[in-house]
């Protein structure tokens, strides 16, 4: 299983390396979006008067960006393989469902990890966030979020027959993620029903860890519960993706 999983991940990374335009865009998009965020937030001096620190907000926005990019990147993958016939060929050539799902998550997590690194570097230098003392828990949380987001994307791509069907799923998950994760509105300010709904949003757990570690300066081990829940959500998504990936029409 590990051998086949690795073969898929390596193949995906070979494909990324060959596609220079894709690689350039993958790096340029987080850079441009972070620059835009910096420009927008810097042009709102009234935020400081309201007690909102841009640096506090930046890390949450960065987490959202990592989630969004990793999710969008991976929603299309299985759809493309299904459409091109390579998915059927993989099955006929001996790859199993769980190997395909985990292989894709492995392959796409590499690029998601690189994007995460870009976002973290920009967060530090553009927003002057002092990440270094907490870099290990922050990077670990961001990386876990990226991998879980790839898992979510792979899971969702199971339900689309073509690229066109993928697009409605993007806002369907991203808008609730933004609204219910605590990035835009603190969860405690949401109506009770939406607070309950927020438990199924993976971004919520990452935001919870990052806010506690960076803003409230709590130790990482006190945030193990949300961190492990994030991993559990990821595991559930991967199990779901393996079970729903159709080997036989």
Partner 1 sequence: MTAPAIKISGLYKAYGDISALAGASLLVGAGEIFGLVGPNGAGKTTLIKAICGVLKPDRGAVTILGLDAGSERYAVRRRLGYMPQEPALYEDLSPRENLAFFGSGYRTAGLEKRIRDSLEFVGLWQRRDDPLHTFSGGMRQRASLACALLRDPQLLILDEPTAGVDPTLKQAFWEHFRELKQRGITIFLTTNMMDEALHCDRVAVIRSGRVLVTEAPDAIRSRGRARITIELAGGGLREADVSGYEEELPRLLLSYGLSDKVRRVSIHRPSLEDVVLSMIQKPDGGWWITQMRNKTRNPKPETRNRGAKAQ
Q: Candidates 49-57, 92-100, 157-165, 229-237 — which segment interacts with partner 1 by CB under 8 A?
A: 92-100
15 binds partner 1 (CB under 8 A): yes
Between 49 and 88, how does the x/- string for binding to partner 1 read (CB under 8 A)?
A: -----------------------------------xxx-x
| Region binding partner 1 by CB under 8 A among candidate stretches 9-17, 27-35, 115-123, 193-201 | 9-17
Farthest CA pair distance, the chain: 63
**Is residue 89 involved in binding partner 1 (CB under 8 A)?**
yes
> Measuring CA to CA, which residue among 226, 209, 178 is closest to residue 67?
178
Would you say 57 or 95 has its CB closer to partner 1? 95
> How far, CA to CA in Å, does 63 sit from each of 26, 56, 193, 205?
16, 12, 24, 11
The answer to the question of residue 249 lying near partner 1 (CB under 8 A) is yes
Contact 75, 169 (CB under 8 A): yes
Q: Which residues 6+ apart lie within 8 Å of 100 measured at CB?
A: 8, 78, 87, 90, 245
> Does 163 interact with partner 1 (rule: CB under 8 A)?
no
Residues contacting 229, CB < 8 A, separation 6+: 205
Q: How far is the CB of 77 from partner 1 (least distance, A)?
A: 12
Among 90, 148, 233, 237, binds partner 1 (CB under 8 A): 90
CB atoms near residue 127 (< 10 Å):
22
What residues line the site for partner 1 (CB under 8 A)? Answer: 3-4, 7-8, 11, 14-15, 18-19, 84-86, 88-95, 247-249
């Amino acid at each position: 299983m590990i051998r086949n999983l690795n073969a898929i991940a390596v193949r995906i990374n070979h494909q990324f390396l060959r596609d220079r335009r894709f690689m350039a865009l993958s790096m340029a998009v987080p850079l441009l979006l972070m620059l835009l965020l910096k420009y927008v937030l810097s042009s709102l001096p009234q935020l400081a008067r309201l007690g909102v620190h841009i640096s506090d907000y930046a890390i949450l926005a960065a987490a959202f960006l990592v989630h969004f990019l990793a999710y969008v990147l991976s929603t299309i993958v299985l759809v493309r393989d299904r459409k091109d016939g390579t998915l059927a060929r993989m099955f006929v050539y001996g790859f199993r469902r769980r190997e395909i799902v985990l292989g894709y998550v492995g392959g796409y997590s590499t690029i998601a990890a690189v994007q995460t690194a870009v976002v973290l570097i920009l967060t530090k230098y553009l927003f002057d966030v002092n990440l270094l003392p907490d870099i290990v828990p922050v990077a670990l949380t961001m990386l876990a979020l990226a991998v879980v987001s790839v898992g979510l994307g792979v899971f969702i791509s199971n339900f689309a027959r073509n690229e066109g069907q993928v697009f409605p799923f993007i806002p369907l998950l991203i808008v609730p993620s933004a609204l219910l994760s605590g990035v835009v509105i603190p969860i405690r300010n949401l109506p009770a029903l939406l607070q309950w709904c927020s438990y199924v949003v993976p971004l919520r757990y990452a935001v919870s860890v990052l806010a506690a570690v960076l803003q409230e300066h709590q130790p990482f081990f006190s945030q193990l519960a949300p961190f492990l829940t994030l991993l559990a959500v990821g595991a559930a998504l991967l199990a779901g993706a393996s079970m729903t990936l159709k080997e036989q029409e």
